[in-house]
A and B are shown apart, each in its own frame.
Chain A
């Protein structure tokens, strides 16, 4: 009963059990109510859905392929591995599924300016891209540290007409970029829509972003049934904020014989201070408008996260993941930096000629942990949430340092 509630949520106020909700300054409440009502209207509006579908097809390139990585499967002892190729979308990651949905919504709400936060820059690029497409003004908050790590994405945002605002407070990463974006929104809420990039933030964002991303799982379900004739045994996705994972998990949540695995970043190790294993080592608390698992100290001060993958470098996680963890429906495990680099990034590049994003490399690397436990012929889907172009310079430096 309790579990069923967890699987269907959120409730009217945006809760999954104790998780989720709307913990924001009062100034934002009317905007969130307006957004929720606009979103509910659009999700039943045929013309909205038709417009979204058409742009997803012709501009984003959906449906993305479900590709059987046979050499990978053979190398892992004869399992069948299918990669959901979100890396092949326009802009190179799943992020655009969400930014496109939200910008269509923003236009219908009559908003004239868009803001966003970004960590790795993929969400920033996806936001800047749809703003160019729709002719809306765009400003993206990005931690200064991330701007250095992801210089190429800064350029991509700027060339598509966005202004990238460096955030120099706190850890200078995604967490602080999100703080600044919220502060901006508190001041500009009348004409500005805030496109949050993951299944985090106050209600209705976690639900809405999940819904826009669940196109991934809906396609996967259809595709695997067509190719294999049955549902997969496992679906694996990396989890930072958790939007690619929610997107692929959601349409499978009720299929209880499909095991769902979320992979968090163990960074330099779970026994160090430098990881992003929020669900694995955190406790429930409130950050950025939602109740969810958090990396924090005894007093509730938020701790910095670390991962070699900037998109996983976040001390929070989507509230629905917290509920799915507590209900036992999804199993959350971790992969550290070295595993992601060697068993993910390098392994997939060498065996399949596909360079994954460092974030997605965590999900790929998890196959090494899982495969020894599987029977031959087991069917495993991995969400390849993004491509690795953005990471090649950073990874080249790391590999150079390791093999002098």
Chain B
């Protein structure tokens, strides 16, 4: 068995010592073109992102809300495919040591070949993979090849998941466990469920690895609150929305990169010190 670089594990260890949660932004590869994704990734890494979740566009993203659906479509229209995705990862890896996590639907991995994908992913510089439509019951072979290649398998748990199942999911997860905050699809929410903090506390009790929370989180206040109860906080649609707005407003690429870097900085800040009431966006 190959040992991975353990970038994800080391990141969480380092953050724990500083008593900070990981800030994990998500963007879609190729949205709206591949070079911009590369620039954004590097800029986010330089502006406080601790781990980067990079989405591979899919024609039928059934766990995603309208914002990420639209981003997937833009990525596919820009010619993104699994091969170009891995090339993009390589280019980002040359410029940054930030832990990189693949997020993509199972069919793309399956068509590439599970073993080939796990190996090529690691050689390109990926550290982990999230496959939102691959529950643990279907994942034996994937787990085996990913372990051999040294790629972290990050599984999801949801508010509907019973605790004994969360335990089993956590056992099969490496890097971190992805806790889905809401019973629903991706996309910013005004309100997060009242019982979320309690659910997270229970999930962390049952998991012997870091727990990151995602779905619906868009504001620094939410990040600050969740940083108290999770090891990492994932923000996706809110960032992708900024890209969409930028495209619509015709913002030049450099300005868009700055705008998003600024937002990530703000989010990272929230994982550090929390936010006092009345502050932030």
Contact = CB atoms under 8 A, between A and B. Distances in A.
A, B: real partners: yes
Interface of A: 13, 21-31, 169-170, 175-176, 179, 182-183, 186-187, 189-190, 283, 285-289, 294, 296, 298-302
Interface residues of B, number: 42
A288 B62 contact: yes
Contacts of A22: 135, 137-138
Contacts of A23: 106, 133-135, 138
Contact of A183 (B62, B132, B162): B62
B83 A299 contact: yes
B161 A26 contact: yes
Contact of A26 (B69, B76, B107, B158): B158
Contact of A24 (B107, B133, B169): B133
The 10 closest A-B pairs by CB, nearest first: A300-B111, A187-B184, A27-B158, A300-B107, A300-B108, A299-B81, A301-B59, A286-B107, A25-B63, A302-B59
B180 interface: yes
Contacts of B106: 23, 286
Given A29-B161, A179-B60, A179-B62, A21 B138 contact: yes
Contacts of B63: 25, 183, 186
Given A190-B183, A286-B107, A299-B112, 11 more contacts: A22-B137, A27-B160, A30-B165, A179-B62, A186-B63, A189-B183, A285-B110, A285-B111, A286-B105, A299-B83, A299-B108
Interface of B: 58-65, 69, 76, 81-83, 105-112, 132-135, 137-138, 155-162, 165, 169, 180, 182-185
A30 B161 contact: yes
Nearest to A190: B183
B121 to A, nearest CB: 15
The interface centre, meaning the residue of A13, A22, A27, A288 with most chain B CB atoms within 10 A of its CB, is A27
A285 B60 CA distance: 13
Contacts of B135: 22-24, 26, 29
A190 B112 CA distance: 35
Provide the main secondary structure of the chain A interface.
mixed
A29 B164 CA distance: 14
The interface centre, meaning the residue of A26, A183, A190, A283 with most chain B CB atoms within 10 A of its CB, is A26
A254 B180 CA distance: 45
A175 B60 contact: yes
Contacts of A300: 58, 82, 107-112
A167 to B, nearest CB: 12
B111 A296 contact: yes
The interface centre, meaning the residue of B62, B63, B157 with most chain A CB atoms within 10 A of its CB, is B62
A187 B181 CA distance: 12
A13 B62 contact: no
12 contacts: A26-B158, A27-B158, A27-B180, A29-B160, A179-B61, A179-B62, A186-B63, A187-B185, A189-B160, A285-B110, A285-B111, A286-B107
A26 B82 contact: no
Nearest to A175: B60
Contacts of A21: 137-138
A215 B173 CA distance: 44
Contacts of B156: 25-26
B138 A27 contact: no
B30 to A, nearest CB: 12
B133 A186 contact: no
Contacts of A296: 107, 111
A301 B183 contact: no
B108 A26 contact: no
A191 to B, nearest CB: 11
Contacts of B169: 26
A62 B124 CA distance: 60
A227 B222 CA distance: 71
